Amino acid sequence: MRTLALAVTVSAVISAGCRDQQPVQPTASAGPAYLISDGAHNGNAHFFFLQPLAPDPSALFHAGTFNSKLSPVVEVCILTGDPSSGSAVDCMTSGGAPVLVFGPAPMALDATHQQYARNWDTKSPTLLDPSKFYRILVRGAPRGTALGFLDVDPVDRGMKNLRTGDVVQFQDGRTLPINLRIEDGAFGSTNPDHVERVVRDVATTVTTNTGFAGASFPDNWLPQAARNAGINQVVLIVERIPVGPGTNDPTCLQSGLMEREGCYRFRTDPDLHDFGPFSQLVTAGVCVESPNLIGNPNAPPFELHRRVEVEGAPAGPTIDLAEVAAPFLTCANFGPTPPSIGTINSGSVLDLASVGWHALVRGIGRLVTPDALHAFDLGAGGSTDGFSRIGWARHVTMTKVGGTDGDSAIAGTAVTPDPAVCLTLTHHGVSSPLGNEPVTFTVTTGAGTVGGLQAVTVNTDVGAGCAHAPWVLGTTPGPNTLTA
């Protein structure tokens, strides 16, 4: 009787893409058809197949980064053809799903050796066909991103490494040990303030390594459609997004609202957006740049907001989250990305919708300077039925007072009436004037003065939420502009 084993191909992979941002999952068209993809073969730099499937890759490990907070799964599919032929191959599918001969099977943590392990009984439940080829894939959760994979070929007597010619015998003639290492960053996190951890469909609380952000899950939170698809766990990835000058993002949500840090990306692997909203609301928690104001009912109200990302950029509506406490956070040492979010030159000028005045020719602008930081009625958390970018914002709109725009005056004299704006705050769906809020009026062209200076700050009145300042035009006829 013929004894089957597996020949493992460890020839080099040529994979396209940036390993710094997302786990690399080479496709058949991205390089040689015969693949092993891991950190030792141009794949995910934080994932490694270990002996006996591959030569010892320990020289490439990132010391101190083994992630023991996962529960990876391994599966084996039948390939559509012979990878050595050079033709594109992939897992055979049936009804849109890969045809598996093994798994997805959970792997056991071996903390002593900093690895995950699973034995594959190559004769159960499906016998190997010596005329076919197979692919071993490892994921963080069923239907998740493949962290790495390798193609195997049944041969006589043992597992032959086609690169070295070595043959590894099956244990007891049928069992193949699959050992691997997964490090922090395997799921694409690049910011030091992050977490990558398994979350099942049970009550769980997870925070980043700093404690500045996290999520609290109730029982039975997974979308029902995800459960129906066989997803019983996900990998939660939370990482901070630096914002402000010198970063890729001017603000977290890029919403046109007043925003404050922190800013974090919450996501899962597999991505649950295709399966509908969470079955139960999840509490997302994010620290703010003035944590001493959390829970202070007298400070101006900010709310956690969520905005989806498309190819890494915020898109679609900004959704405010119902306020809840987030006692699982540790915010005492939290601070903004230097310089502070939304700053322009010096001070703490925050971005709002444009407001401007026309004097003689035209004027444009706005710029509002708010208080130090704003409060959160109940705490630094928000209830959400989905994940994406999450950060702090408040709904404030600025409008020009009618009759204060488009006026003219003799050079060197004051415009009548004074330019004026009103601020309106919307909190929990209720709009009200925003009083006692500083507004900075600035002369931008024309060499005039506002309040006797090039710029002046005036607080809005408590009743109407409006502010105004006297504007004297420059002595040279021509366009004068003012921003507020």
Would residue 49 count as lying in a domain?
yes
DSSP line for 164-195:
T--EEPPBTTTEEEEEEEEBTTTTS--SSSEE
Would residue 189 count as lying in a domain?
no
CA distances from 74 to 117, 180, 269, 326 (A): 9, 10, 15, 35
pLDDT in the model for residue 275: 97
CA distances from 134 to 34, 137, 253, 367 (A): 11, 10, 44, 62
CB–CB of 226/280 below 8 Å? no
Single out the residue in 149, 182, 215 at which a domain terminates: 182
CB–CB of 243/252 below 8 Å? yes
Are 158 and 228 within one domain? no
Q: How far apart are CA 386 and CA 284, in angstroms?
A: 10
In this structure, what CATH number is given to the domain that contains residue 455?
A: 2.60.40
Would residue 296 count as lying in a domain?
yes
- According to DSSP, residue 9 is labeled P
Below-50 pLDDT ranges, the chain: 1-4, 9-33, 162-163, 339-379
Would residue 352 count as lying in a domain?
no
Are 142 and 173 within one domain? yes
3-state helix, strand, coil in the chain (%, to 5): 5, 40, 55
Single out the residue in 133, 159, 182 at which a domain terminates: 182
Would residue 317 count as lying in a domain?
yes
pLDDT digits (tens, 9 = 90+) for 379-426: 478 999 999 999 988 777 788 888 888 777 788 888 889 888 888 877
pLDDT in the model for residue 383: 92
pLDDT in the model for residue 29: 36
Would residue 356 count as lying in a domain?
no
Strand partners, 34: none
pLDDT in the model for residue 182: 99
Are 262 and 241 within one domain? yes
CB–CB of 316/389 below 8 Å? no
Give the HSE-up count for residue 2: Cα atoms under 13 Å, Cβ half-sphere: 10
Are 145 and 262 within one domain? no
DSSP line for 294-353:
BT-TTSPB-EEEEE-EETTEE-S--EEPEEE--TT---TT--PSSSPTT--SSS--B---
Q: How far apart are CA 37 and CA 45, in angstroms?
A: 10
Instruction: Supply the range of the domain harboring residue 414.
Output: 395-483
Are 208 and 312 within one domain? yes
277: helix, strand or coil: coil
Are 388 and 243 within one domain? yes
Residue type present at position 101: V
> Using omega within 30 degrees of 0 as the cis cutoff, is the peptide bond preceding 382 cis?
no
Query: Left (φ > 0), alpha (ψ -120 to 50) or beta: where does 295 sit?
Result: left
pLDDT in the model for residue 431: 79
Would residue 139 count as lying in a domain?
yes
pLDDT in the model for residue 295: 55
Would residue 134 count as lying in a domain?
yes
In this structure, what CATH number is given to the domain that contains residue 208?
A: 2.60.220
Are 213 and 172 within one domain? no
Are 66 and 168 within one domain? yes
- What is the count of structural domains for the chain? 3
Single out the residue in 137, 155, 182 at which a domain terminates: 182
Are 205 and 172 within one domain? no
pLDDT in the model for residue 352: 31
pLDDT in the model for residue 302: 77
- According to DSSP, residue 228 is labeled H
pLDDT in the model for residue 342: 31
Are 275 and 318 within one domain? yes
Are 235 and 165 within one domain? no
Are 387 and 403 within one domain? no
